[in-house]
Every structure is written in structure tokens, then in C-alpha cells.
Amino acid sequence: MYKLNPPNRILLGPGPSDAHPETLQAQALPLIGHMDPAFIEIMNEVAELLREMYGTENKLTMPISATGSAGMETVFVNLIEPGDKALICVNGLFGERMTDVAARAGAEVTRVEAPWGQAIDPAQVAEAVAKDRFKMVAVVHAETSTGVKQPLEEIARIAHDNGALFAVDCVTSIGGIPIEADKVGIDAAYAGTQKCLSAPPGLSPVTFNDRAVDVIMNRKTKIQSWYLDLSMIAKYWGGATRAYHHTAPISSVYAIHAALRLIHEEGLENVFARHATTGLALQKGLEAMGLKLLVENPDHRLPELTTFVIPEGIEDGPVRSRLLNEYGIEIGGGLGVLAGKIWRIGLMGHSCRKRNVMLVLAALETVLSDMGYGCDKGAALAAAEAVFAG
Ligand SMILES: Cc1ncc(COP(=O)(O)O)c(C=O)c1O
């Protein structure tokens, strides 16, 4: 008899992360209709829990029925009209992707750049907006390709002082580090489910404030994408009449509901603290092994995604294969210009646990030592343990 039998892995890559068993079980619950009052109730609860994750009161907060890249596309196709100017901060693959998506939506794109592994300097954003008027300034909060955490407040202020909307990619930050959209002044944001929320991939939570909604409602041109047109989707997710737009992915909504409830019950502050300690323990462990972290400024290191340089003389592929085949551990390789040069270890959501830090450090120490890398055996575990001990 046919039976799907995927291997049981420990997901410590850049996403997806391990899902909590309750989240996986939620997907197996019976289907109900997407207009069933009971489902509408679940949608309302999901929207409310997402507001908590984003730190917002925004009415227009809901998951788009597709992955994080569709959330990115939603922001640009709804807010940009052909010929609008967008200033996009690029310091990794996902900032780069934003420039492509924005240009396809008709934007005239100006880039502000930083080397991969560094945060964007707000002074460069200030310099760029002094030279031109932009409709939007966009940045990636947690650059998954590099492990950089981007401070947002100053760029938000610069954008607003110049009359631009401020849009943020929160795919890898949501549920891992605070976003505080209302306090920071984020006008539009999108996220993913498969990182620190620890739900399966397939939805993209988005949030738009009144200022952004105003821009959407007063467009001169029709939104080019039917599927991602928020003026229509909003009527299904929040409108008084709940007009049918598309068939919601019921089981995915169950899963995100369960994942968000688990975070809510643990307490957002506790979840952030868990990520901060666990990520730091991993980073101290790797450094004790003599490995070099890619992000030099400790204030710009993401706790949920650590990037480090592959040592001289060690090959990328064989190490990751051994981790996967002998230990069942998935870690990530580098992307773009960093392919073959770095590894990425994610400690996101349900994967973000002491057990996984100790496991991956021990496995990495063994595999690297076998391949001729000299390190002080046991130092990594001791350094990590010291962080957990406080
Ligand atoms: C920062 C960031 N933005 C956007 C995306 C795209 O999300 P997805 O792969 O879910 O479409 C990702 C995925 O890894 C990401 O890490």
C-alpha cells in the first residue's frame, strides 16, 4: 500500500523549522467550509493573534494564502503604481528579491546597499531621500541570507520625515525578535509561517496600517494582481459581509492558529528571551570552536539565525551531508555570493531549544574534527552551557 514516509529530521536550517506536534495535529482536523461561521471565528482569532505578533492594532492584518514571497508581492503590487519611486535597502538575497518584485510592480527602484553581513546605515537612507522623493522605503528586518538584524527605528523616521511609506520584510523576525510595528512606525509588513512561528510554510501574514490602506484605496490604476488585491481579500478576512474571494487553505489556517496560540500561551516576551539566550549560546559555542561569525557587530546578529564562515580547507557539501545522514540535522548553506562560504544555523520557534544547540555543536565538532579541523574538544559545549547557566 502506498504510504508517504518522509524522514524524521531536526530542522536547524533557515526554515522551515520544526513544527510543534499540536500544530501538525491541527492540520489533521476535519475540514469545514471556508464560509462556515465556525471558520470565520477561527479567522478572527488568527487575525487577533497576528496583531499581537506584529505589535499592531492594524485592522488589515491577516495571512495571505501563499508563502512569504507572496507577502512581499502583496506589499508591492498594492502600494506601488507604475512609475512610483521605491527606495530599497539591499544587504542580502531578500533585499535583492524586493528590488525585482518592486520593479515588476512598475516601481522605479533606487538601491541603498551594505555588504552582505552588515546592517544598512540609516545615514545612507537619509542621503538618498534627500536627493529624491520616494513613495516607499523598504527594508528586510531579519536578512535570512546573512543573519543580519536590521535596526528599524531610524530608517522609519527618515522615511516618514520624507513622506514615504515604510515597508518591512518580517519573514524571519516574526515570533523571534520584537517587531512592534505601531511603535516603530511600520506602514506595511509581510511575514512567513515556517520560521519562528513554527507552522508549515504556505501562508504569509501581512499587516497594513490606515495610511497604507488609504494609499491602496486611492490608487489611480487597478491593482495588476487579482489574487493579491487587498481591497478584495480584506472583504473576506475582515469585511462585514465576508464576501467570497478565494477558498481559504483551511488546514493551513488551523495550523497557524495552533502555532500562534502556543506562542501566545508561552508569552511573547518569554519567547523572545528564549530565542535570545539560545541563539547566544550557539554563537558562543561556535566561537569557542574557533569559528568566525559572519556578522561582526554583535548588536546586528539575529538570535534565530546564526551565520558563520566555513573554515579554510573544509568543504561545504560533505559536512552538511554528514550532519543530515548521520545525525538527522539540517543546517543551511550560503546563498548568492555566500554560497560555499558560510553555513547558516537556524534556532527558530519550536527548533529553538537548548537540546538542539548542544546537539548541533557536538555533531559539528565531531564532523569538523574528522575532516582535519583542529579545535579544543568540549570547549563549544562548555561555552554554550555557560550561557544557559546565566
Ligand atoms: C527574509 C525573507 N524574505 C522572504 C522570504 C521568502 O519567503 P518564502 O520562501 O516563504 O516565499 C524568505 C524565505 O526564506 C526570507 O527569509
Give the pLDDT confidence of 342-355 residue by residue, as tens digits.
999 999 999 999 99
* 8-state DSSP, 301: B
Placement of cell 459581509 in the chain: 241
Which residues are 350's β-sheet partners? none
CB of residue 15 inside a 6 A radius of ligand 1:
yes
Atom of ligand 1 nearest to the CA of 193: 10
pLDDT at residue 214 tops 80 = yes
Q: Can you name the residues that pair with 111 across neighbouring β-strands?
A: 88
Ligand 1 mean position to 176 CA, how many Å? 15
How far, in Å, from the CA of 309 to the mean position of ligand 1? Answer: 22
Contact 168, 189 (CB under 8 A): yes
* pLDDT value at 73 more than 80: yes
Ligand 1 geometric centre to CA of 130 (Å): 30
| Predicted local confidence at residue 208, as pLDDT | 98
Measured between its terminal Cα atoms, the distance across the chain in Å is 52
Residue to substitute in 72, 73, 144 for testing ligand 1 pocket (most ligand atoms within 8 angstroms of CB):
144
Residue 297's CB: how many other CB atoms inside 10 A?
12
Rounded CA separation 284/387 (Å): 8
pLDDT for position 240? 77
Domains plus CATH for the chain?
A: 20-264 (3.40.640.10), 267-389 (3.90.1150.10)
Neighbours of 244 (CB within 10 A): 12
Of 72, 74, 76, 94, the one to substitute when testing ligand 1's pocket (max ligand atoms within 8 A of C-beta) is 94
C-alpha to C-alpha distance for 347 and 125, rounded to whole angstroms: 31
> What is the identity of the amino acid at 368?
L
Please report the pLDDT score of residue 345 as a whole number.
99
- Residue 238's pLDDT is 84
The band of 242, judged by pLDDT with boundaries at 50, 70 and 90, is: confident
Asked whether 207 lines ligand 1 (CB < 6 A), one says: no
> What was the pLDDT predicted at 241?
81
Nearest to 197 by CA among 46, 12, 348: 348
Q: Supply the mean pLDDT for the chain.
A: 97
For residue 12, pLDDT over 80 is answered with: yes
Confidence check: pLDDT of 329 > 90: yes
Pick from 194, 260, 239, 208: nearest CA to 42: 260
DSSP 298: G
Q: Tell me what pLDDT residue 1 has.
A: 86
pLDDT for 124 equals 98
- pLDDT tens-digit series, residues 34-62: 999 999 999 999 999 999 999 999 999 99
Residue of 64, 69, 173 to mutate, ligand 1, most atoms within 8 A of C-beta: 69
pLDDT at position 239 over 80: no
Please give the Cα distance from 1 to 5 (Å, whole number): 12
Whether the ω angle into residue 16 lies within 30 degrees of 0, i.e. cis, is yes
The set of residues, in sequence order, having a beta carbon less than 8 Å from that of 2 and lying 6+ positions away, is none
Is the beta carbon of 304 within 6 A of some atom in ligand 1? no
Band the pLDDT of 132: cuts 50, 70, 90.
very high
Q: Which residues pair with 86 in a beta bridge?
A: 109, 136
Beta bridge partners of 85: 108
Residue 172 CB–ligand 1 contact under 6 Å: yes
Helices (H) and strands (E) in the chain, counts: 14, 14
pLDDT of residue 298: 98
Q: Which amino acid is at 40?
A: I
Q: For residues 88 and 60, give the distance between their C-alpha atoms in angstroms, rounded to a whole number.
A: 23
When pLDDT is cut at 50, 70 and 90, the band that residue 186 belongs to is: very high
pLDDT tens by residue, 18-30? 999 999 999 999 9
The answer, yes or no, to whether any atom of ligand 1 lies below 6 A from the CB of 176, is no
pLDDT score of 256: 98
